[in-house]
Structure 1
Amino acid sequence: ISVLFTSFKMNTNALLHIEPNWSPLFTGEKVTFICDSQEGNNADWVYSFRWNSQEFINYRPANRFTLPSLTTRYSGEYQCAAYQKIRPNVIRESNKVSLSVSVTNRAVVTLQHDWPEIYSGETITLTCGIEEGGGSEWEYEWRTPDYYTPPNPRGSVMTSSVRGDYSCKGRLKDGASTTEWSDAFTVKTSAKPKAQLRKDSPVAGRVTLTCSVGSGWKYYWYKHNKTSEPLKPGAYVLLQRGSISPSGGGVYWCRGGRGAPVYYTEYSHPVGKELNFTNRAVVTLQHDWPEIYSGETITLTCGIEEGGGSEWEYEWRTPDYYTPPNPRGSMMTSSVRGDYSCKGRLKDGGSTTEWSDAFTVKTSGMSVFIFNLVVCTERRVRFIVSSVCLTGTHVHAGYGWKYFWYKDEKTSEPLKPGDDVLLQSGSFSPSGGGVYWCRGGRGDPVYYTEYSGDVILVSSVHPVTGGHSVTLGCMLRTKDLLHNVDFYKNAKLLPNGVGGELLISAVTKSDEGFYKCRGRNSPPGLETLTSAESWLSVEHPEEAASSSVFLVPLVVGLVSGVLLIILLLLILRCYRKSKDI
């Protein structure tokens, strides 16, 4: 408790008083000292202030000064003196004022450790302190997330990192004073960390292993098994904090520890000094397919980064089952949706990897329009019909797809090479009339797509000469015509389709593009069917002329040759008749 009082001397004329003039005064508060000469104008005087009989402010014109933030060190006895400016020997001393500054009695909870993060299960020490005070005359009580402690002379509490708020208060043992409850100190915990182990490239035949967690950690090293005793200094050469050079080959682990009792991190990944692997398992897809389809068989492989080999065996976790360790590092699966992960284990039991990151298998359903047929016509010499099998929106060209062709019935055996003329991958020229189908397949066992669609766009297989006309048709694979047919160029509706055909007269380069047709399979139009897109190419007349110039001599030559052969045969016949006569 602060005591503030003013004393007077009968022979003094100056008066010293303070503002605010109340008791008690606490640390952090502001106080102003005012010296009144009590004679004439205060501006005619200069002033000095004394603290515990020592002058600390001399001959200043202002008759006041302020202490902006009190601390306990400002406690003591204060006095001022006024000196007349024109007669410095005239001095007016003031009364003495005793000032006592008390602490605020504010309790504060602090963490003894300078750790940036606290982990689940870690033991920490919290301290209850009295700001600018405290000591053996105090005792403390605590409120924690799960219990209360009555007053005791110990100012700190041990806790096993229970999440929540901690607060305390102080009480003088004689009961004369009690602080308020402190502001809550919130303990937040994170998941137990894992030590990171790195193997550096050998230098001068020496391998360096570095273990890291963060600042304030001590590191423990293990060989072969995590459950073994930590290595002693004779088993390695300590290079610097967290780094060692092992004295022998094998599989090494590390972890960090701090505090009392020691709190340990998770073990690091193992590192083999001689095998040179990080022991990190990774699941990879053997195929370079951008998309996997429902029911398709794929191959997933479990590999050990920078290592692996015949000394390893593997175990798998899949969406619907678990496989125990076996020496096969890959597995076959029928594209079950979900996450796949694996881990490796040395056959001698000396090392086990962690589970790999999950590899997520996503499958797409198949559309009946995955493949389509385009019928193309050639009108220069003779009528040729060829069909081209194209991939749709769900299947990209290439990526392991093979094409299978069928005639008349989809359930028939695929056509053999002798049944048609193969033009290019996915294209062929049929050797006879009929209804044709196609589908794609890839993988082992073969995964088949749906069969191609039913709508065919009839177009020219070769470029059309500029200035000539071309007709596009739209029909079903059964050769039946469609109703209410619309034609599209580059996905835009064309207005001039009539009777299932689109006539383009006097074509130009601007007519080039992707064409498709859409129609209904019955007059009521209950179902709309769309063909695949087909590219229409236009060539300049000069290009066509060059082709004609080449064809004319060829035709003339052939005709002349035939006429010459006929003439020779006639001469030979006449010669034989003349001999008979």
Structure 2
Amino acid sequence: MITIKCEIQGGENTEWQYEWRTTSSKTPPTHSEYNISSASFSYNGQYWCKGRRDVFFSTAWSDAFTLKVSNKPRPTITADRRTIPAGGNATLSCSVGSYNEWKYFWFRRVSVFTEIQVIRNKEPDQMITVTQGGIYYCKGGRGNPVFFTEDSDPITIEKRVSNKAVVSLEPSWPLIFSGEKITVRCQIYLGRRTEWEYEWSKPDSSTVLANNASIDVNASVISSGSYRCMGKNKQELYSVTEWSDVITLTVSGNRPKSSISADSRVLPEGDTVTLTCSVTPSTPGWSYYWYRGKKTSEPLMMAEVVLHSDGQIGVSQEGDYWCRGGRGNPVYYTDYSDVISIKQTVRNRPAVTLHPNWPEVYSRETITLKCEIPGEDTEWVYEWATSSSHQPPNQNEYKINSVSTSHRGQYWCKGRMRSAQQNSTMWSASFQLKIVYSE
């Protein structure tokens, strides 16, 4: 709202009639004042006026007065800092061009979803100090009634709170394998009475807002990298914690492999063989699953084995064994190990006997060493071992037609089933052959 006045200098005591001329599309009244209740572009132009005292006497036309009506100005808002440290403040400034006749009005929103709050009215200075986070606006006003500028663009101010954010991995394994399920968790200390929203910074440089304090990661090579989090007060979203320290998730694209080993491939009668399962690369957290028989077998129950330690069992049955590792929930499995075969010795234990069973054997006598195995209904393949310089044949008898001192020594034998040669007896007890030399 403005008023254009026609003032005649030196003629204040004279009654004048007024005339107006203008290049605008409006026609001023014949009064000394032209009141414009709401300026618009149609009032743009030059204005002249003159005064007439009577028919024969008038003033000259005034110099032209140019009225320029423009769009509402939009003030500029600035801040000396966008983040208020704990216990600190920020200074905001609002400016409407180079004009100084404006007073300033300040507004704040707690979040984009809340109503605008008036925080300052008619500030004579264009700067204010704030101690809270939020979205801030300003606008200028002048005149009576007040004419307002447009609202400024919003400026976001965050306030750091003293609560500390800590990010962690669950499970916290140093090496993760592609396909495993990992939870990245954000914990806000000293903030139990505050409801938080969480902002995450992820390896792909994106930031994500979440209501939950954790994000679930289906591990892959592209999910490797640094994670960090911060907390935002749900009542005042621009009251935020500092960013947590970074935690690094390392993901291998190769599935780990299990290896199996045994302290013996032969299972003695009434005894056990110890099997060991290990995972390569070596990382913590594995449980071990044992299998026997065909590839379609279910894992062995603990009642079927003797548990020595995590990764070691004792088995008392022969067969083909293999294993694999698993960890996490749901369980993530390694590849299967190779198969290892455990063979059981048969119950029969052979004995080496001398025929004829003389108490003394003299050189050049004829003798026979026999490998006798209980259970004559079984067909055997025989093996001999000796400390003498002669090697017996793979038969159940070793006939020596002319014995000599070179046949002295210990003799052992064992049998292997002809129909199932993976099954063998134990070695016999040693038999000592002593030769008495005679001329």
**TM-score class normalised by the smaller sequence:** 0.3 to 0.5
TM-score in terms of structure 1 length: 0.31
Query: 1 or 2, which has the higher helix percentage?
Result: 1
- Greater length-normalized contact order (CA 8 Å, ≥ 6 residues apart): 2
